[in-house]
Copies of this chain bind each other. A is one copy, B any other.
Amino acid sequence: MTKKKKEIRRESIMEEAARLFKQKGFGGTSMRDLAERVGMDAATMYHYISSKDEILKTICFDIASIYITQLAEIEKANTPFIDKLKALVRLHIHLMATKGAEVSVANNDWKYLATESLAEFKDLRSQYEKGLSKVIEQGIQAGELEEVNQSVALFTLLSAVRWVELWWRPNRGISLEELEDTILTILFNGLGKKEA
């Protein structure tokens, strides 16, 4: 089997695992459940992945890596802070909508990571939250954002988009782009009507 083919199989195992973890919890999912779901016998499946712990680690760090990479790119872009913040909120909505199961696992099941990975993951999370908080602080200082409590702003933004994973589907009458635009309008312009 080519390397490419192996990689594709591995990814589809990861995707099914994320769905199962989300549905039954990390603790409630067995490797037998997973093998059944991907239609392989367990022995074949172990050709692609080594353990449940490895799967969890891969899912959590893949998501963390997307956030951290995007943050780094956005930080160095030459754009107003408010646009950086909007781009980050858009990224959150986008990931919730397109990788909902993985994001859910990274949000809820990271606590089951093995000790070493756990510390590393917490560091990444804290690094990301600090980066996001910094963008908010800079936006306020530059007069681009309202002068509100930074922590309240940070958590309100992060929390406001979390329903997307549970609700948005491509066929619910609103495109992903419209969804992103609408949430950004509410959070940055406010739901109250502005004078024209």
Contact = CB atoms under 8 A, between A and B. Distances in A.
Contacts of A70: none
Contact of A149 (B158, B174, B193): B174
A155 B178 contact: no
B159 A192 contact: no
Interface residues of A, number: 36
A174 to B, nearest CB: 6
Interface string A153-196: 10111111111000100000010001100110111111111100
A185 B148 CA distance: 8
A74 interface: no
Binding site secondary structure of chain A: helix
Contact of A152 (B151, B158, B159, B182): B182
Interface stretch (A34-42, A45-53, A112-120, A139-147): A139-147
B158 A163 contact: yes
A153 B193 contact: no
Interface of A: 82, 85, 143-146, 148-149, 151-153, 155-163, 167, 174, 178-179, 182-183, 185-194
Given A158-B163, A194-B194, 17 more contacts: A82-B192, A85-B191, A144-B192, A145-B193, A146-B185, A146-B186, A146-B191, A148-B191, A151-B167, A152-B186, A156-B160, A156-B186, A160-B160, A186-B190, A187-B190, A187-B191, A188-B190
